[in-house]
Amino acid sequence: MSPAAFDLTRYQDSLTIQRALHNARTVAIVGLSTNELRASYFVGYYLKRHGYRVIPVNPRETEILGEKSFKSLLDVPEPIDIVNVFRTPDAVPAIADEAVKVRAGTLWCQFTVINEEGARIAEAGGVSVVMDRCIKVEHARYVGRMHWLGFNTQIITSVRGGLQ
């Protein structure tokens, strides 16, 4: 399905995003990489640093970020609050189906991971959906730690060269 075929704004609601971030403790990251230069690795690292329990879901790995990696969401032995997806859009329907089966709270699809069928599956199963948004960026926005490295510098300035 084409990303332009449906209205994404309903999956980018600020209250849904804030509720998901504030109520969650456990985030399963589907497609988490061991490569430190990949966005999924940095997001996982950031979330761990900010107190979330990160569960890697990657069938090719046994451990990521010091945590056991699982082959699928169905193999995870504990409740999952957010399923964060770093996979291609065509993988989303199957992931959404698993998210419903494990009774996840939210299916969160990263930037450009847009799939209308996956959103419908999740919603029909009682799972809220956030789509085409980065969980790290949204966390930083609502917790007040927006900085390109993901850490609060405590400095906001428009002065070139910074404040003296």
Whether 80 contacts 104, CB under 8 Å: yes
Q: Which tens digit of pLDDT belongs to each residue from 41-91? A: 999 999 999 999 999 999 999 999 999 999 999 999 999 999 999 999 999
Return the percentage of the chain with pLDDT > 90, whole number: 80
Whether 105 contacts 24, CB under 8 Å: yes
The band of 163, judged by pLDDT with boundaries at 50, 70 and 90, is very low
Which one-letter amino acid corresponds to residue 163? L
Domains in the chain, please, with CATH? Answer: 7-143 (3.40.50.720)
β-sheet bridge partners, residue 63: 68
This prediction's pTM: 0.86
